[in-house]
Structure 1
């Protein structure tokens, strides 16, 4: 199933979605897909005209592939401009992902600060792509393309604080308009930047993730390359703290991300 087909499944059978093993990330499902599917359930609870402003995501346990999972959402409060929504993925009676989202309509304000500019990056054509290699790279990378322009790939003993390059979907046949669900997948496709500091393979995963979206989302389609840049702010005792941004091909800021990751090496 493609990314678009899985998003559609949340709307047609939200309590019985089965993610195929093709979307694996180790023993669990790719976290960016899990977050996107929960978000799809959440946005249906919100009054039209209130786009998502921020999501706070906790990965509580691994979502198992090949087994049914339910995506649930509850509207906690709807104010004059802002709606607060709680979403979760439930599998075998256990919550495996929990998402709290803030959706808000635009309002008049005297405050206007320009976006952070996109960092300098080599052109897409000059960057090395991470190929999908069965039993070597995560299964989900067959659906997302990443091209390295900055920092090291995982397990290359590269001490850089930074990691970045270009990313896009490569699975969907259609050139769909990019939504916030797509942005979740594009940001989380990248491995935790701390993994490049290791010299040998070791597990690592997101523990918590906060992501904020610039509204309205810039107009682009799923086959266009977006620029990703991450910086390690601190790492010790098996935990890393990473800030990142995602920009459109023309340099428009799309999303700002912060993750706490666990590293078992």
Structure 2
């Protein structure tokens, strides 16, 4: 078993320009592929080696193309344009010579502005200490979930045939240590997607594409700190769900906005 920080530390520059290697441990799989948030985080970790520190992540677009199995993989980074304020950059993880996931990102400097709009406030919900942790059940829940603590606030659990796909929960890593940008990205893909809670077991849900926006600066936080995730479906049909979410820190500040197109296979 390897914790998340160990996996991020496996991202190392190779002898080829703009190329890195990364390792995925088998305990971080969901089925035959790595947890999607991990795949994206590994690519972001490589990107951060090539982006100036004064440019923070503004948006991130992920395409989940194919499975990322356990083992060693290559990450290829390509700078599309480095402007005076914004760096556009792409990355992809290759498994057995085939593209398995791609990330396109925009990193930008702060600009002077007279306009400030406050992000939505965190809803009034039960604190995490008053809620029960979702159990890790070997052979039933995805393997990677053993590394996280999730506590449902509202909505139905996966495969509960709930009336609504919408739900909310508190979430955090079980390990301690400084929370960096790559770890924050991984948290954004942690909860089960809306729609899984409307079908019966067995069923399968999978992200097709995923988009993140970061409205505020990366906070100083520990990996064991709590984050509140409000996850909703805007439309669904023909096996596809159009989902959106907001993630807040325990201090009430919105840190991520998410959009997702996901597929649900009912059996």
Q: TM-score, normalised by structure 2?
A: 0.94
Per-residue deviation at 1:221? 0.9
Correspondent of 1:28 among 27, 33, 36: 33
Counterpart position of 1:157: 161
* Paired residue secondary structure (2:39): helix
Correspondent of 1:102 among 101, 106, 109: 106
Distance in 2 between the 1:202 and 1:53 partners? Answer: 34
Deviation string for 1:129-188 (max 9, x for gaps)? 211111111000111111101111100011224211100001x3x431x22211222121
Per-residue deviation at 1:12? 5.6
Counterpart position of 2:177: 175
The number of aligned residues is 261
Matches within 5 A, 1:1-265: 1-11=2-12, 15-65=20-70, 67-170=71-174, 172=175, 174-176=176-178, 178-265=179-266
Deviation string for 1:104-136 (max 9, x for gaps)? 000101221011111222111222321111111
* Paired residue secondary structure (2:60): strand
Per-residue deviation at 1:92? 0.8
Q: TM-score, normalised by structure 1?
A: 0.95
Distance in 1 between the 2:35 and 2:153 partners? Answer: 23
Distance in 1 between the 2:88 and 2:247 partners? Answer: 24
Distance in 2 between the 1:53 and 1:17 partners? Answer: 24
The answer to whether the 8 Å contact 1:81/1:105 transfers is: yes
The answer to whether the 8 Å contact 2:216/2:254 transfers is: no
Deviation string for 1:45-100 (max 9, x for gaps)? 112200111100000001011x3211121111011100000011011110000110
Distance in 1 between the 2:177 and 2:44 partners? Answer: 21
Q: CA RMSD in A?
A: 1.3
Distance in 1 between the 2:256 and 2:143 partners? Answer: 25
- Most deviating of 139-148 and 8-17: 8-17
* Paired residue secondary structure (1:203): strand
